[in-house]
Structure 1
Amino acid sequence: MQHNSGVTVTIWIDDGQLQCCGEGFAPGDVVSWNLLEVGPEDFADVVGGDRAAEIDFREEHHGDGDPPPTRLKVLTVTEVHCRYAASSPLTDMSVCRSKAPGGAR
């Protein structure tokens, strides 16, 4: 993504954000997203430390006090898939999930 200032940034967009009320986008589109800064620790367990260090922001539009939207031009799109597995034996109807080792591609 290219920020208004001409700086290229990497933004994580969770599938839940798009499934709920997000709009599709493609390279070349100009979008307006609420961006929250992130650190590598926020995504290291999902995509690994090296890839997580490349992520600058995440898009969020479901929290209280979201920042004002930022206009950006989409340069490229990289899709990430992750496998999940039960993190502990299930003792009731709840499901607890965590990333399966080696699950991110």
Structure 2
Amino acid sequence: MSVWWPTKDDLAWAAKVLRESGKPKMTVGDLKAARWVMADSPTPENPNNKVQYLAIRLLFIKPKLFSRTTMLWEVIREGDESGNTFMIKDMWCERNNDDFHQKLAKGFYFAEATAETK
């Protein structure tokens, strides 16, 4: 997942979309924390498809963690004027666990004792 800061025009666009859809406006804190997120969104036709979202509101962050934490964001899809918002869970995983998490996601990971795990 890629992340970068929005421009003033991006934030003005988000404010307009929220206002026209009757949703709560962004607070000063929301404006400071906002960011663009490029997320994987695979489809059968395009397994490498990526979609851009503007994260407009931080909904949850575990307060006891300073780094390597999970955050839940309310987001608007780039170019979507409907006012529909979605949620994205932004979580940190150790790189050496990537293969493990991929196997779990595919549902065929079987724990076996090996010399490496003893």
TM-score by length of 2: 0.28
**Structure possessing the higher radius of gyration over alpha carbons:** 2
Larger fraction in helix: 2
